[in-house]
Structure 1
């Protein structure tokens, strides 16, 4: 008997791909064939192709959904329309048992096509409030999974379930010794990891590099600075290891890490929580986003899992004061994280997805 197919979609940022990456091997273990629909030039194309060359990748046209005025707002609906027609054609050929969408602009025409073709569409929302793409796609969904209980106030509750966070199994299998080997750290100072997202953060990078000399008297530093932000002048700085972006190495680097400075994307902060890493969150400003990271950070701060400094308040001096406070409260933060609800495994999430597939 031929394997049934599940189509995954989602893209635009690494956060819209990471859960799909975790689900692929688990869905295959459940005897599903997995294929992926993404955009041609999005980060999802690279991430899926690198990690899962055996997964067939379908590239479709994708417009950007903007909350601000742009002349492209007049042309992008045509791109979404083209993406819809392409998605319909892919669905006709693959005859999937379900479509699982992690969000991002490319997922909208896929969810619409699934509804047209009477294929179950399952949406996953990992932030407190749904993103614009998921808001548009929700009417076409058969079921919606959320990470935060608070999100149930913003979605159709009759077809929604809060699952909590989902953590990739390989994240828990990292090796601190391997991480130390990757970075060539040769002392026992605590390790500070800085993550500004897959595209990097200019303000976080500046706060780190302005204070680098002082920070290096206290920490070994792992700096994930984002694509195009590698500083060649700092390449050979002792005990400072910079990467534009990491994939397979991340679990090892996190296991060796003692403290984290990061944006407040849902996937990342729940990974830090699962690994009990005291975190200083610098959420993306509402001037640059819809404010989802501010809400994520606020909830983690309220639960005693993280310290928070808003981007508008970030200066070299305020950053160093926040690092001092983070170290001082390490024990309390870890104690609070130990009492948190444990995350779901990717296998448990894959089984939930499977319960919403189309019957044979």
Structure 2
């Protein structure tokens, strides 16, 4: 069995892809897995860091056509055409039995090439609402695996199945005790986890920096994943406040990969963007959250946040109002054990720890021509 996987752009697309690949390797040890990424893409180091050993990694041309200027969109159209030709050549040589698509513009060349060659394809939609690439590719895909029932309405009847969010194996084994020990946290204090997704979030970092003295005065300890872009700025802010990145009450990191599972397991409350991972990772640990959707992207982050808020697992704060509302919201939840406990239970009720295995089984059935 040969399976190709296309994903790119952000960790929110790549991590579900590698999680499903990990589950595939467990269910079909002899399967040959290949990965299609974008030229010079952010995804390559994430794929290489995963426990899955891909038989081949190829790069194809791609680029965005929405949210950019006319000139860049025109260049991207040319790149997508070239990328489709590159994907066609690759698939003609290797003849995959199925193709998995998890999002990002690199999925467009792969999805079109698979459709042209009649290779069955499956979309794994980690978000609640599909973005433009998935909305276009749904017309070419054979099957769609979705995280939650709210997503079924975006696809034709019988095309989509609820599998849950695909979680990496490392997440499934993390415990609170292990996380507290790993990061050197005080088990008697409440822990606030702050992260902005795979690329970080400058506005969240600056908002947290502005209220850091108050948080510490409240007795909170902080796990802070800044993103690599803002790392130097945050370290400088900590220094100005007489703190370090590895202090007694503040543990700051530019990025966490496998250790992110331990951070999630040890936290009492999270402040985060609302990319797709919050639907699977926060719920796995029953973690209540304050979600701050990224205001300049496709509306999917707002839709994800709305879903968790409706379920009682999160509250939402607007990016532009964090200076007014973030500290009071953190204090309200941290001080109210009843509210925090109810949010945690609501979050845990949404967990689907077997999401990656469920999606992998759907992909195997597709590769075996079981419709």
Q: Which category describes the TM-score, using the shorter chain as reference length?
A: over 0.9
**CA displacement, residues 71-112 of structure 1 (integer Å, 9 cap, x when unaligned):** 111111111111111111111122111000001100100000
Task: Show the counterpart of 2:235.
Answer: 232
CA distance in 2, matches of 1:310, 1:195: 16
Q: CA deviation at 1:238?
A: 3.4
**CA displacement, residues 175-234 of structure 1 (integer Å, 9 cap, x when unaligned):** 434433443335631111001111111111011111111212321111111122112332
Task: Show the counterpart of 2:286.
Answer: 276
Task: Show the counterpart of 2:46.
Answer: 47
Task: Show the counterpart of 1:304.
Answer: 312
Q: CA deviation at 1:336?
A: 2.4
CA distance in 2, matches of 1:168, 1:68: 32
Contact residue 280 and residue 326 of structure 1 kept, 8 A? no
Task: Show the counterpart of 2:212.
Answer: 212
Q: Which has the higher contact order (CA 8 A, sep 6+)?
A: 2
Instruction: Choose from 285, 290, 304 the match for 2:298.
Output: 290
Task: Show the counterpart of 1:9.
Answer: 6
The answer on 1:26 being equivalent to 2:23 is yes
Contact residue 17 and residue 44 of structure 1 kept, 8 A? yes
Q: CA deviation at 1:348?
A: 2.6
CA pair 339-85 structure 1, distance change in 2 beyond 3 A? closer
Q: CA deviation at 1:27?
A: 1.1
CA pair 152-186 structure 1, distance change in 2 beyond 3 A? closer
Contact residue 11 and residue 42 of structure 1 kept, 8 A? yes
SS of structure 2 residue aligned to 1:127: coil
Q: CA deviation at 1:263?
A: 0.8
Q: CA deviation at 1:343?
A: 4.2
CA distance in 2, matches of 1:69, 1:293: 22
CA distance in 2, matches of 1:184, 1:355: 45
**CA displacement, residues 40-65 of structure 1 (integer Å, 9 cap, x when unaligned):** 32221110112247312111111222
TM-score, length basis structure 2: 0.90
CA distance in 2, matches of 1:159, 1:324: 44
CA pair 340-77 structure 1, distance change in 2 beyond 3 A? closer
Alignment coverage as a number of residue pairs: 354
Q: CA deviation at 1:172?
A: 2.1
- For 1:57-206, what aligned pairs fall within 5 Å after superposition? 57-186=57-186, 188-206=188-206
Contact residue 146 and residue 152 of structure 2 kept, 8 A? yes
Q: CA deviation at 1:302?
A: 1.1
Contact residue 279 and residue 326 of structure 1 kept, 8 A? no
CA pair 46-215 structure 1, distance change in 2 beyond 3 A? same
CA pair 339-130 structure 1, distance change in 2 beyond 3 A? closer
Contact residue 102 and residue 125 of structure 2 kept, 8 A? yes
CA pair 255-100 structure 1, distance change in 2 beyond 3 A? same
Contact residue 168 and residue 345 of structure 1 kept, 8 A? no
Task: Show the counterpart of 2:321.
Answer: 313
- For 1:304-343, what aligned pairs fall within 5 Å after superposition? 304-315=312-323, 317-327=324-334, 328=336, 329-340=339-350, 342-343=352-353
CA distance in 2, matches of 1:260, 1:121: 35
CA distance in 1, matches of 2:167, 2:268: 19
CA distance in 2, matches of 1:156, 1:53: 32
Give the superposed CA RMSD: 1.9
**CA displacement, residues 8-29 of structure 1 (integer Å, 9 cap, x when unaligned):** 1111000001111112222122
Task: Show the counterpart of 2:357.
Answer: 347
CA distance in 2, matches of 1:145, 1:47: 22
